[in-house]
Amino acid sequence: MASVVAVDLGGTKLSAAVVDDTGAVSCRTKVPAATGNMRASVEQIAQVVEQVVRISQKEVRGVGLIVPGISFAVTGEAWAPNLWGHANVPLRAELEQMLDIPITIESDRAGYVTGESWLGVARGCNDVVFVAVGTGIGAGIISGGRLIRGAHDISGAVGWFALNPERRDIYREVGCWEAEAAGPALARRIGARSAEEAVAKARAGDGAAKKAVEDAALYLGMGIANIVSILNPEMIVLGGGLMQAADLFLDPIRRSVAQRAQPVAAKQVRIEVTELGEDAGLLGAARLALGDSATG
Amino acid sequence: MASVVAVDLGGTKLSAAVVDDTGAVSCRTKVPAATGNMRASVEQIAQVVEQVVRISQKEVRGVGLIVPGISFAVTGEAWAPNLWGHANVPLRAELEQMLDIPITIESDRAGYVTGESWLGVARGCNDVVFVAVGTGIGAGIISGGRLIRGAHDISGAVGWFALNPERRDIYREVGCWEAEAAGPALARRIGARSAEEAVAKARAGDGAAKKAVEDAALYLGMGIANIVSILNPEMIVLGGGLMQAADLFLDPIRRSVAQRAQPVAAKQVRIEVTELGEDAGLLGAARLALGDSATG
């Protein structure tokens, strides 16, 4: 039985665990993510990896790491603005200097979709898209059983979907879909401090908040319909912070897909909420490091 | 040197030729497509294949056929409403009864993108999307060197992209993008009989026609920007009837991608017009039948 260390490096916290090829998770740890620069992150990752390996007393044959941004396969560089600013950093080279075992680095969205298709709600699906809706909107895509990376590893930047022929200034900064439907957009619609506050108000029956949820859901539905039309997936998995309130969004999204996506593809697709929650990334990172040998 | 017969079955005409694994084309033929039902098409295809094989005196090791619609890999059925109505037909089974050589059937859009990436403007690209804009809008997608088929072979139905939060009745029939930007939409905007007429008027300086071209180009740019954001392709290849007037659309499309797509992906992508024109489908059909042995 093969085991690896999975590391889910987020913008604010780092989770790690040992995961075997059946998906069994042990030696979990979770700490605030080191901030400041890549060197601090690399040292923290190396430390955490050594720690869980020591505790587990298992032989691990690799490390799977996902980062909150982009991992460039050819150069080994990574881009994660919340951690390291807007420049690419030589993450793989630095980590290889600190660690003696093979390391696989991927984007968080690649991890989420891989985790869900391995052990989550999309188990066994060869064509599945994970749509993460939180502070931003991004998609991890598996098509024909393979991760879709794009020519330069930045596929899935669906937060930039243009969904409105009118152009508003804010679209230039984060893209139209994200500006209309991510968490901050929901809050902004009613001047709330956070998406959580807007959701709470909507649940309490506040008319403006309910309208804001409707407006965000309209755009969520459009973007997801577009993913269905272009990729004909078996399943869309919804995750990310805003989807903790998925009960408010799921029906409007499904309706919108039925109304707006290619009709046959719309009938074929299932739209579901993540089953793995925060573990999607950790399990996905493990699966990516295990490679084709995973049996799950 | 391996040779195959390539057959491009369109809604109104059928082209065929012998193509070898260097892409050399011989024994071309082009006839009006038989209409009425699948049986008529199958008989015509078999006849044309036998004819070009006989004339070529080459040993052909397979037939590559593309159809104006969808080819279902698992069942061997096909769907091509302009030829056979709205039901799926058992195309592969019927053809296999008539022909003694292996047959590969794909959608026209799969053929176009395969042809362009083999011998056209996208030669050597592993990540390329062919966007066909004519009576309808559809996309053939190659990502990571592989055709993207979707869970049930209907990926690329981008004519259904929802690009306007307002829903107009016509969107229900053909999808928003197609209703706003395909040839018939351009004609409809100024009450012209055809897209060609609208284009001619725009070239002659007619204000309303120029505005119609602008409006269609706005939507063309949005949809193509969305393809760039989700797939991060090296190249978008524009083809189809309306792109015979590509000079009117190319600059606005490029500008729109620069303004609306994910900024890094927008900088990386090249947006070009088909080099192969009508031959994209024929060469793509050949390449698909030749499989991995093609050396081009």
Judge whether B119 lies within some domain: no
Judge whether B117 lies within some domain: no
- Convert the pLDDT of each residue in B94-127 to its tens digit: 999 999 999 999 999 999 999 999 999 999 999 9
Confidence at residue A243, expressed as pLDDT on a 0 to 100 scale: 95
- Please count the residue pairs, one from chain A and one from chain B, whose beta carbons lie less than 8 angstroms apart: 167
Among all residues of chain A, which has the CA nearest to that of B215? Answer: A165
Closest among B3, B63, B52, B58 to B29, alpha carbons compared: B52
Q: Which of residues 148-167 of B touch A (CB under 8 A)?
A: 148-165, 167
Query: Taking the model in full, what pTM does it have?
Result: 0.96
One domain for residues B251 and B283:
no
Confidence at residue A1, expressed as pLDDT on a 0 to 100 scale: 81
One domain for residues A140 and A220:
yes
Confidence at residue A295, expressed as pLDDT on a 0 to 100 scale: 42
d(CA B80, CA A25): 49
Residue type, B171: Y
One domain for residues B20 and B97:
yes
ipTM: 0.96
Chain A residues in contact with B159 (beta carbon < 8 A) = 229, 262
Closest among A51, A68, A72 to A60, alpha carbons compared: A51
One domain for residues B91 and B9:
yes
Token look-up 């026609």 returns B209
Confidence at residue B35, expressed as pLDDT on a 0 to 100 scale: 86
Judge whether A119 lies within some domain: no
Judge whether A120 lies within some domain: no
Token look-up 């309303």 returns B208
Residue B30, chain A, CB below 8 Å: the answer is: no
One domain for residues A179 and A107:
no
Average pLDDT (B187-204) is: 96
Confidence grade of residue B188 (pLDDT, cut at 50, 70, 90): very high
Average pLDDT (B224-248) is: 97
- Convert the pLDDT of each residue in A255-291 to its tens digit: 999 999 999 999 999 999 999 998 999 999 999 999 8
Judge whether B24 lies within some domain: yes
Side-by-side strand order, sheet with A128-133: A146-147, A137-143, A128-133, A235-239, A270-273
One domain for residues B242 and B140:
yes
Query: Smallest Cβ distance to A144: which of B146, B161, B229?
Result: B146
Query: Smallest Cβ distance to A160: which of B158, B218, B262?
Result: B262
One domain for residues A132 and A254:
yes
How many domains does chain A divide into?
2
Do B160 and A259 make contact, defined as CB atoms within 8 angstroms? no
Residue B293 has pLDDT above 60, yes or no: no
- Convert the pLDDT of each residue in A163-192 to its tens digit: 999 999 999 999 999 999 999 999 999 999
One domain for residues A52 and A149:
no
Q: Which of residues 54-113 of B touch A (CB under 8 A)?
A: none
Query: Residue A62 corresponds to which tokens in the numbers above?
Result: 């690799």
Judge whether B171 lies within some domain: yes
One domain for residues B103 and B160:
no
Domain that holds residue A136: 125-273
The three-state secondary structure class of A71 is strand
Chain A residues in contact with B151 (beta carbon < 8 A) = 125-127, 232-234, 268-269
Judge whether A80 lies within some domain: yes
**Residue B56 sits in a domain of what CATH number?**
3.30.420.40
One domain for residues A207 and A226:
yes
One domain for residues B133 and B224:
yes
Judge whether A32 lies within some domain: yes
- Residue B179 CB partners (closer than 8 Å, separation 6+): B168, B170, B171, B173, B185
Token look-up 């053939």 returns B140
One domain for residues A42 and A150:
no
- Residue pLDDT tens, chain A, 296 long: 899 999 999 989 999 999 999 999 999 999 999 988 999 999 999 999 999 999 998 899 999 999 999 999 999 999 998 899 989 999 999 999 999 999 999 999 999 999 999 999 999 999 999 999 999 999 999 999 999 999 999 999 999 999 999 999 999 999 999 999 999 999 999 999 999 999 999 999 999 999 999 999 999 999 999 999 999 999 999 999 999 999 999 999 999 999 999 999 999 999 999 999 989 999 999 999 998 654 43
Among all residues of chain A, which has the CA nearest to that of B147? Answer: A144
What angle, 0 to 180 degrees and rounded to 10, lies between the N-to-C axes of helices B195-203 and B207-231? 110
Confidence at residue A292, expressed as pLDDT on a 0 to 100 scale: 66
Residue A252, chain B, CB below 8 Å: the answer is: no
Chain B residues in contact with A224 (beta carbon < 8 A) = none
